[in-house]
Structure 1
Amino acid sequence: MAKRKPTLSSKEMETALGYDGRSLTHTSDTSPRFYSDLTPVADHLDERLKREYEEYAMRKHSQQEGSFMAANHLQLDGTRTITNGQHTITLIQRNYIGIYRFTVDVHYGFGFHLPLLFTGEEACRTVSLAKLQLDQTRAVTQGFFKLPPEIRDHIYTLAIPNGTWNIQEADSFDRSTFVGSIGDLSGYYYPLSKVLGILHVNRKMRQEALPLAIRATTFSLDDMDDIFMLLIAIGETGRDNIESLHFPWESRSDMESKWEEDPAADDHVVALPKLHAMTCVQLLKQCKRLRFLRLYFGSDLVGNMAPEAFKSDPGIQELCAVRIEQVEVWSLGHKSLKNNPLADWLRDEMQRSGARMGSMEREPRHGS
């Protein structure tokens, strides 16, 4: 992983930003927060100052100073709350000094909580998409919708080919799609594919066809952080309908966080991700139709890590409890790790969990 190195002194960054780095305290937070790329907000003021300057420099370089200033004057009247059933997003504009002034708390009804720190532009994206409410009361008079639902579903299935979805530009996804989709708790507006014309005919057709399109799509991600963001961004509709996932069991924000804590540490230390592993599994467990999962591991990790350390890792233990019918474990070089002892153990544990859950569902209830 490339390590970021400051090119300016703290004094030079403070001069460019127009405020003292010591003001970036955020002492009102009682728990760690994360930026929109899932890296943690650092405890050290120098690291916070560097993050502020990187944001400032990025906007200046892309000549977005005007939109940046406008977004940072966004007023949310204290607190803005977005709700959908038991899911709630709370945005608060704080009296913080600096670019990152908005706390965003993602609370889902199944006990999930993600505390974030946003810029004004990011908060604006979240609120703006949340305002696009689905009109479920609009009368539909087109002849197509007079067909029985099962016939419409059959037509949708014929019109939706199987495909693979991946993030084309990670930075753009982090800064635009992810932060905007946080406000779309249902997942109705998630930009699944521009080529699936059936999703763009009208609201009613999108509402009916989107679940089927998600089921027909294999989601292939490059990082645990990507799957974490996807399962938030795609909303409840996405989590309810995803059937196939591919992603590596490693996290770029985890690696970056470890380096910032100890810059002298060896880059090649064999370690499992810690930062978002448990919450990632928490989201995976909400994928009710998940049938196929392909996990990628570094060959050095499954080849050199002590078996007991691997099996007792909290993230791995939680992963073993995910209900899944078919699991494959591959190397990062896209080769099957079949006959690797740790890979085989993980696959068997996960499939055994799926088999147990399946048999419990098939058992007849007393009195039925």
Structure 2
Amino acid sequence: MLALRSVVALLLVVGLAAVLPVVLPSNASASSAVDRRLNASDCALTGRVFVQGQGCARHRCVSGARMYKEGRDAELCERPGRGGAAYGQPINSRRCTALGRVWIGEINICASNPDRFRQVVPHAPQCLNRSATYVNHTEEEGHYDECISPRRIKKLQKLAKRHNVSLSKAAVDRNRFNCSYRAGWVMQGGVCVIRQGPPRPQDLGGTFMTGDSVSWRADDELHARHKGWILDLRPGRRLDELPGRLDWFRANHGDPDQVIIELGTNRSRGYFEHDFRTTIATIPDGTPILFFLPFRKFTGDNGPQVAATKKYAGWIKRLAADRPQTCVADWPSYAKKHLSNLVDGEHPDSRHEDWYARYALRAWSNCERQLGL
């Protein structure tokens, strides 16, 4: 999921040169602890230390920060304590760019302001346009931070003064990209408002794919290979979040025409098999559904997680045996044959994200043939 940002990268390097944490390499063996793919500016945006002549340290954070995510090719730091946050957020590359922010494709993350007390940051390095101003919102769905151009920031400042509200408040409901991610909201007169009535006919239906970090890593590749799919992928997503994700889709598109579900890698909370069946029962019987069986390789200390994953796989198999128009992709069997393509016995590594995307599309094609679609 790499993006061409050479001009932006050059500007970032120049802008951060005076403050960039750089250390000298100690020896050649240290190369395994660094990511050579990240340049100095992108490394700074992750909160990690840049090792001169080698790359971005995978597990060393700059002063005042600590590790937030340790996963290979997803390493990220955070500012601890009140007002601190992660240096990046899992906002897909297309939306990240639409918000004017820097996408770090090497670790699949959208650069974020880790200092939440600093709500307005002129010339922020997290912005694609260094003349833009970074404005904090909540970094929640439909309320993501944004980078605002100088011309627009002046208009919003006047608006904020006129209505006696903060700049963030004036901006948050006037970003059409954020508005498009709110369930049941539309832009009207330049402001995001709750839609009156059903979605437009041209917005109804579509293929909905929801998933966790396994598919998230291949979000760009999936989009490139099948732009018609509506992708709703996010690290850490659990099976008990499925009802809410279906509600989110329906608010903007009505019932989906086809559904692809890749969930069950992460343990759910207070969600049982009858809850799962109740959720799926809200999808019309005639709607084709493809389930990916979840998979985690046992590593010695993840027994409870592996057991949960196998439990959810059992739920899926039993439901698929009862429900019409339902397919199952045996991801565990395929993954076990290609463990070298997985970074941790679970996720595709950075070189095999497209490999996973191709597998997902083959699984859907097989499902179409199986169901005679």
- Shorter-chain TM-score tier: under 0.3
TM-score by length of 2: 0.27
The structure carrying a bigger strand percent of its residues is 2
Q: Which structure is richer in relative contact order (CA contacts within 8 A, separation 6 or more)?
A: 1
The structure carrying a bigger helix percent of its residues is 1
